[in-house]
Amino acid sequence: MWARDSKARTLPHSAVIIGEQQLLERIHQGLGESESVQAEQPNWTIFASTAPRPPSVEHHFGSRMAAASPVRLNPKSDAEACWIESFENGWLFLLPSGKGPGWLLSVGDSVESLLERSGLIKEQIDEIDPSRGTFPSHPRIVLPLSEPGWLACGTAALGFDPLCGEGTGNAVREAILASAIIRAAVEGASVDDLVAHYQTRLLAGFRRHFDLCIEFYASGRSGPWWDDQVNELKRGLAWCSQQVRDTPAFRYRLNGFTLERL
């Protein structure tokens, strides 16, 4: 139920939900013993979740916070459906994690305030627990993203708005590119060209994210809260365009997990 006076619509989806710990366990199962050994002084380091590495600075485009609250779903609620609803000052997203439990993501006003006005999601919930804390849900990026000897990846590099649902896929693509960059550097390619390519590629993906976010927020509702979000997203889009304006054309491309010179 997205936009003012909209009716609930049902759309197909093929999303998969997996817990972080389960995902980490499956990843480690696929690593050989030699691959899991950590070098004492590596030639390259990938920062995936740490604070920005000097001289990097984190740039924020917005200030909206999100809260995630555990919920127990109504037995009559579809355990394989996700639910989204927009309001005057924010939006709610409900996703199941099996029969009965689920998570409610709230952005903008407090979850209690949004649920009071809900005509769709409130009916799907039997019980809600206090949120486990808040986190920024607006787009943000660290710059520079790479220098000789290190790369930023995942949440240490970019933050995507969860509304668009593309953060996980983008992080996977970043990881593939980061490993290919390091492999090419070890094999003798120009390190300066490689780190420039990495940063330009991530900036291009970040710019596409702004395009998608603007479409969602422009259609969500009208009013001061939504206008503020769109204005910040447009500011981010202009900033990205400025960053890539004078960059050279791409010099590499990915072929599977290997970087090839164009």
Which token pair is 194? 């490689």
CB 93 within 8 Å of CB 220? no
CB 222 within 8 Å of CB 172? no
Question: Which residue carries 């950590």 as its tokens?
Answer: 38
Bridge-based pairing of strands 252-255 and 258-261 is: antiparallel
Q: How far apart are CA 43 and CA 130, in angstroms?
A: 44
Domain segments of the chain: what residues? 43-61+138-261, 65-136
Q: How far apart are CA 118 and CA 27, in angstroms?
A: 39
* Amino acid 97: pLDDT: 83
Q: How far apart are CA 247 and CA 232, in angstroms?
A: 24
Write down the architecture of domain 65-136 according to CATH.
2-Layer Sandwich (3.30)
Q: Which long-range contacts (CB under 8 A, 24 or more apart) does 190-197 make?
A: 191/148, 192/148, 193/251, 193/252, 194/252, 194/259, 195/144, 195/146, 195/147, 195/148, 195/151, 196/247, 196/248, 197/250, 197/251, 197/252
Ramachandran region of residue 211, left (φ > 0), alpha (ψ -120 to 50) or beta?
Answer: alpha
The letter for the amino acid at 196 is: A
* Amino acid 124: pLDDT: 95
* Amino acid 94: pLDDT: 96
CB 67 within 8 Å of CB 134? yes
Averaged over successive runs of 10 residues, the pLDDT of the chain (262 residues) comes to 86 83 84 63 88 87 96 91 95 87 94 95 95 93 95 93 89 94 95 95 96 94 94 97 88 93 90
First-residue to last-residue Cα distance in the chain: 46
CB 40 within 8 Å of CB 69? no
Question: Which residue carries 């240490």 as its tokens?
Answer: 156
- Prediction pTM value: 0.89
Bridge-based pairing of strands 158-159 and 150-152 is: unpaired
Q: Is 42 exposed, middle or buried (0-12, 13-18, 19+ CB in 10 A)?
A: exposed
* Amino acid 35: pLDDT: 56
Nearest Cα residue to 200 out of 138, 153, 144, 124: 144
Q: What is the DSSP string of 126-176?
A: EEEPPP--EEE-S-EEEES-EETTEEE-GGGTEE--GGG--HHHHHHHHHH
* Amino acid 27: pLDDT: 81
CATH, domain range 43-61+138-261: 3.50.50.60
